[in-house]
């Protein structure tokens, strides 16, 4: 027993990733043997991961940063995992949100997918989550690249798995653009390796300081390529073209995890690289932060503007994601304590909100088959729970106080002022207003619209299963809880920011 505890304590960084990989490997075999257990196995993997996350969090809070050397080889030679406060933050976000989405998926998949591919769905889902966790904790360039590719392919997989031609098209678009993105990232990794000779973040960061004198152009081009790659992946404004199709046509749980977590993890990785690896001098050579800020504000604006004109609810949510990822990048671009806190916190908050909104959209589609916003009139009376939590999510998106969206926007706003860029404060406020324009009519029509106005509104409403309502309620409760008591999350994030 003590051996087991020692193993778990000493090796949880490796085990948390390996759990997902191993369980997903086993899924196809289980599919042909005991089909019903696939969902259980997937949930078991998540529960184990939660357990490991807890242990890691405990270790980090008691002893500080945890490092783990794969195969017992020390960093410059082997692969290193580093778990600091920021990683703990991401791990918690990923495991919790993905578990909730998975619970929702167990019922929802039955009507969105063919029966024989549901086990493949779980396989891809587990791999996606595992890759995201790996991305969050790895401290090695090439390992990061590998995890990025796993995440990219599995993300495309869970889009294309739906029997719908738009899904295939969206998935292909996503695949091609993310291949461009990873190509850029790999080229950039090669350039950085060429001038530093290291693949480990820590060592590369050390070596980059002298290298900046010798090869400034190389490093700048590497930075540009990195930015391009991650901006494609995170769907920031000019390169967001893949996102709306992909996120709107995919099955609802896929949309939830893609919008809620996957694009965030790239923003997170970009943040980590930008602040941990590249030397500070480079920022005096090119105004990279200003560029990020401009892109972020454009993203916020255009995402919101496009969202206003959408008719499909999931498409609207997808465009809203573009706007919201803009907030995260805004936080990165501000690069001060408050701004970063807001940006990073928004990763978590938006994960909760957008996952919940997509899931409730999925629940609406599950129960009524309606996707069009105009047809949602009066739906609130028929399914009060779903529309209630949708209203909570919408309020959080807008940034109404006591929801967690308010907290991150508040910190971002403070960050803009700290940085002396009040223009971006205006951007935040205006975009909040735009959010109102496209979120509130849905809620209003759902609750206060006249049901008798349109004849086709008497659609039979299926009963929402418990497995689908529980995640919705938990996420909504989380939104409210972290809006009213944001203290602990903030402390975690501020400690995380303190390392930069």
- Shortest CB 238 distance to another protein, Å: 12
- Separation between Cα atoms, residue 191 and residue 116, nearest integer Å: 44
90, 124 contact by CB (below 8 A): no
* Count of other CB atoms within 10 angstroms of residue 46: 25
- 279 part of the interface to another protein, by CB under 8 A: no
Cα–Cα distances (Å) from 304 to 198, 356, 434, 435, 466, in that order, read 41, 19, 6, 7, 33
Q: Which two tokens stand for residue 236?
A: 């920031």
Positions in 29-48 near another protein (CB under 8 A)? 29, 32
- Shortest CB 45 distance to another protein, Å: 13
Find, among 177, 193, 297, the residue nearest to 240 by Cα. 177
Q: Which is nearer to another protein, 237 or 424 (CB)?
A: 424
Positions in 197-216 near another protein (CB under 8 A)? 197-199, 207, 211, 215-216
Find, among 259, 226, 252, the residue nearest to 113 by Cα. 252
Find, among 91, 66, 212, 192, the residue nearest to 141 by Cα. 192
Task: Name the phi and psi angles at 81, rounded to 5.
Answer: -110, 135
Positions in 65-94 near another protein (CB under 8 A)? 68-73, 76-79
- 500 part of the interface to another protein, by CB under 8 A: no
- 369 part of the interface to another protein, by CB under 8 A: no
- 470 part of the interface to another protein, by CB under 8 A: no
| DSSP state string for 312-340 | BHHHHHHHHHHHHHHHHHHHHHH-SHHHH
Q: How many CA atoms lie within 13 A of 70 on its CB side?
A: 18
Return the residue of 116, 280, 455, 463 that touches another protein, per CB under 8 A. Answer: 116
User: How many whole angstroms from its chain centre is CA 353?
Assistant: 11
- 418 part of the interface to another protein, by CB under 8 A: yes
Positions in 5-24 near another protein (CB under 8 A)? 6-7, 11, 14-15, 18, 21-22, 24
- Shortest CB 442 distance to another protein, Å: 12
Return the residue of 209, 291, 385, 417 that touches another protein, per CB under 8 A. Answer: 417
- Shortest CB 493 distance to another protein, Å: 10
Find, among 143, 195, 171, 492, the residue nearest to 345 by Cα. 492
Return the residue of 58, 61, 423, 485 that touches another protein, per CB under 8 A. Answer: 485
- Separation between Cα atoms, residue 396 and residue 348, nearest integer Å: 12
- Shortest CB 14 distance to another protein, Å: 4
- Shortest CB 435 distance to another protein, Å: 9
Return the residue of 2, 36, 63, 165 that touches another protein, per CB under 8 A. Answer: 165
Return the residue of 422, 458, 459, 477 that touches another protein, per CB under 8 A. Answer: 422
Q: Which is nearer to another protein, 389 or 460 (CB)?
A: 389
- 326 part of the interface to another protein, by CB under 8 A: no
CB-based burial, 65-89: b 16+ in 10 Å, e otherwise: ebebeeeeeebeeebbbbbbbbbbb
Positions in 180-199 near another protein (CB under 8 A)? 180, 183, 186-187, 189-191, 193-199
Positions in 384-413 near another protein (CB under 8 A)? 395, 398-402, 406-407, 409-410, 413
Return the residue of 95, 106, 139, 154 that touches another protein, per CB under 8 A. Answer: 154
**In the beta sheet, which residues pair with residue 81?**
68, 138
């Amino acid at each position: 027993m003590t051996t087991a505890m020692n193993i778990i304590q000493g090796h949880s960084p490796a085990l948390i990733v390996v759990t997902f990989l191993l369980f997903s490997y086993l899924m196809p075999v289980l599919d042909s043997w005991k089909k019903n257990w696939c969902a259980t196995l997937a949930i078991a993997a998540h529960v184990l991961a939660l357990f490991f996350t807890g242990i890691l969090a405990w270790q980090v809070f008691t002893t500080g940063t945890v490092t783990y050397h794969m195969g017992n080889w020390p960093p410059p030679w082997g692969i290193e995992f580093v778990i600091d406060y920021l990683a703990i933050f991401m791990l918690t976000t990923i495991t919790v949100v993905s578990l909730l989405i998975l619970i929702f998926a167990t019922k929802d998949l039955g009507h969105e997918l063919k029966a024989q591919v549901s086990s493949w769905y779980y396989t891809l889902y587990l791999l996606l989550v595992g890759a995201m966790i790996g991305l969050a904790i790895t401290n090695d360039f090439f390992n990061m690249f590998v995890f990025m590719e796993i995440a990219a392919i599995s993300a495309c997989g869970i889009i294309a798995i739906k029997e719908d031609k738009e899904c295939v098209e969206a998935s292909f678009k996503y695949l091609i653009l993310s291949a461009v993105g990873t190509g850029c990232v790999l080229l950039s990794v090669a350039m950085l390796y060429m001038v530093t000779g290291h693949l480990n973040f820590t060592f590369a960061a050390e070596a980059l300081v002298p290298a900046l004198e010798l090869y400034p152009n190389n490093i700048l081009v590497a930075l540009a390529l990195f930015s391009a790659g991650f901006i494609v992946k995170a769907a920031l404004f000019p390169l967001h073209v893949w996102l709306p199709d992909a996120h709107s046509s995919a099955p609802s749980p896929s949309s939830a995890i893609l919008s809620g977590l996957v694009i965030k993890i790239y923003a997170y990785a970009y943040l980590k690289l930008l602040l941990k690896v590249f030397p500070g001098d480079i920022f005096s050579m090119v105004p990279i932060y200003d560029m990020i800020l401009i892109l972020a504000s454009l993203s916020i604006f255009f995402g919101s503007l496009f969202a206003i004109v959408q008719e499909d609810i999931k498409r609207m949510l997808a465009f809203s994601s573009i706007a919201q990822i803009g907030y995260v990048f805004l936080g990165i671009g501000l690069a001060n304590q408050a701004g970063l806190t807001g940006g990073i916190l928004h990763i978590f908050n938006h994960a909760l909100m957008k996952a919940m909104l997509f899931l409730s959209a999925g629940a609406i589609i599950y129960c009524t088959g309606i996707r069009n916003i105009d047809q949602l009139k009066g739906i609130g009376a028929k399914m009060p729970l779903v529309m209630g939590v949708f209203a909570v999510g919408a309020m959080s998106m807008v940034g109404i106080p006591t929801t967690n969206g308010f907290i991150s926007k508040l910190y971002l706003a403070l960050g803009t002022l700290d940085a002396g860029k009040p223009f971006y404060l205006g951007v935040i406020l205006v975009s909040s207003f735009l959010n109102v324009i496209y979120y509130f009519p849905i809620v209003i029509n759902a609750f206060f619209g006249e049901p008798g106005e349109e004849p086709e509104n008497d659609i039979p409403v299926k009963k929402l299963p418990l497995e689908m309502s529980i995640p919705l309620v938990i996420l909504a409760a989380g939104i409210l809880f972290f809006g009213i008591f944001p203290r602990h999350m903030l402390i975690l994030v501020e400690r995380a920011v303190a390392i930069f």
